[in-house]
């Protein structure tokens, strides 16, 4: 079988687990090839050059080999270098980064490229690692969730009612629900936004500078968006509950 070599590929480790006494299986998010599974042979050995590099939330450049068709297979890692730029996030920023990783693991199909989403993810991780996010942590997460859902085709248009395709009324409240899309808010809805606010989010998503524009639109409504987006994401992730969400709940209960 012909072997294709991928070199100098921008990547992040989303998750790793033991493959043998000395090796690791890596779930990675790459810029040009999407979610790729790699085996890092000998990575657990004290003398391995991989050992200090293969960490989550760190920008990497990786090289690996693809044999035959390669789709959905586990590929041998040939090289990995830290691309520099920031240190490991800590505290709430670390939990937030691990939450984003879990979303990508649960929602992205293997080896479907999402270059634009990768660039946004890399930018968010850079902010998390810089420690300069301040009060912007919630808007950062909500904006990423919106973009992720849109990239996967799971986000309805936010300027029309999903069932009727009629435009939203600026002053009326609407809720985003998993099985019904965007609809008029009901008394039992946990949260809702006005039609004008939903329409502003849609315009931001369509903007050429989508993430910057989206952050501005999300900031004043992040608290109301949170339960709606989390419910929609959990619906598409299926069971069980996202581990990072459960961890956050447990920490809040301490």
Can you give the CATH number for the domain in which 38 is found? 2.40.50.140
User: Do 239 and 142 fall into the same domain?
Assistant: yes
User: Do 46 and 140 fall into the same domain?
Assistant: no
User: Do 140 and 200 fall into the same domain?
Assistant: yes
State the pLDDT confidence band at 146, using cuts at 50, 70 and 90: very high
Q: What is the pLDDT of residues 96-116, one digit of tens each?
A: 999 999 999 999 999 999 999
User: Do 67 and 138 fall into the same domain?
Assistant: no
In a domain, 165, yes or no: yes
pLDDT at 207 over 70: yes
pLDDT at 159 over 90: yes
User: Do 143 and 207 fall into the same domain?
Assistant: yes
Mean per-residue pLDDT over the chain, rounded: 90
State the pLDDT confidence band at 72, using cuts at 50, 70 and 90: low
In a domain, 113, yes or no: no
pLDDT at 242: 78
User: Do 137 and 235 fall into the same domain?
Assistant: yes
Backbone φ/ψ region at 205: left (φ over 0), alpha (ψ -120 to 50), beta: alpha
Of 53, 82, 111, the position where a domain reaches its end is: 82
Of 47, 82, 117, the position where a domain reaches its end is: 82
Give all strands of the β-sheet with 193-194 in edge-to-edge order.
181-184, 173-177, 193-194
- Omega prior to 240 cis, within 30 of 0: yes
User: Do 75 and 137 fall into the same domain?
Assistant: no
Q: Among 235, 224, 217, which Cα is nearest to 181's?
A: 235
Tokens of 95: 């939990």
pLDDT at 165: 96
In a domain, 125, yes or no: no
pLDDT at 147: 95
Distance of CA 141 to the CA centre of its chain: 9
Which distant-in-sequence residues (6+ apart) come within 8 Å of 55 by Cβ? 13, 88
pLDDT at 85: 76
In a domain, 98, yes or no: no
Which distant-in-sequence residues (6+ apart) come within 8 Å of 64 by Cβ? 5, 6, 9, 36, 38, 75, 76, 77, 78
pLDDT at 245 over 70: no
State the pLDDT confidence band at 253, using cuts at 50, 70 and 90: very low
Beta strands in 68-184 (DSSP E): 74-82, 173-177, 181-184
Tokens of 146: 């919106």
Cα→Cα distances 250→75, 94, 231, 243, 247, Å: 36, 16, 18, 11, 5
pLDDT at 254: 32
User: Do 77 and 184 fall into the same domain?
Assistant: no
In a domain, 103, yes or no: no
Domain range spanning residue 179? 133-253
In a domain, 51, yes or no: yes
Distance of CA 15 to the CA centre of its chain: 13
User: Do 156 and 246 fall into the same domain?
Assistant: yes
User: Do 156 and 245 fall into the same domain?
Assistant: yes
In a domain, 150, yes or no: yes
User: Do 37 and 149 fall into the same domain?
Assistant: no
Of 82, 113, 147, the position where a domain reaches its end is: 82
User: Do 139 and 244 fall into the same domain?
Assistant: yes
| Total number of domains in the chain | 2
In a domain, 225, yes or no: yes
């Amino acid at each position: 079988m012909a072997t294709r070599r991928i070199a100098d590929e921008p990547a992040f480790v989303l998750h790793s687990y033991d493959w043998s006494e000395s090796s690791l299986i890596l779930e990675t998010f790459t810029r040009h090839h999407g979610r790729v599974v790699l085996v890092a042979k000998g990575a657990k050995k004290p003398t391995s050059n991989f050992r200090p590099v293969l960490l989550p939330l760190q920008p990497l450049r990786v090289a690996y080999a693809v044999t035959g068709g390669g789709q959905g297979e586990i590929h041998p890692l040939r090289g990995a270098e830290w691309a520099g730029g920031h240190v490991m996030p800590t505290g709430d920023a670390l939990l937030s980064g691990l939450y984003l990783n879990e979303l990508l693991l649960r929602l992205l199909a293997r080896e479907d490229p999402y270059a634009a989403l990768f660039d946004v993810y890399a930018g968010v991780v850079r902010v998390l690692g810089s420690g300069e996010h301040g009060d912007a942590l919630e808007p950062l997460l909500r904006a990423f969730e919106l973009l992720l859902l849109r990239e996967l085709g799971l986000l309805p248009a936010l300027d029309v009612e999903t069932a009727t395709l009629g435009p939203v009324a600026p002053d009326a409240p609407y809720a985003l629900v998993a099985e019904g899309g965007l609809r008029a808010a009901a008394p039992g809805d946990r949260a809702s936004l006005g039609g004008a606010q939903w329409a502003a989010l849609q315009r931001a998503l369509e903007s050429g500078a989508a993430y910057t524009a989206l952050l501005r639109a999300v900031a004043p409504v992040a608290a109301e968006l949170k339960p709606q987006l989390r419910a929609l994401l959990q619906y598409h992730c299926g069971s069980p509950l996202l581990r990072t969400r459960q961890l956050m709940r447990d920490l809040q209960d301490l």
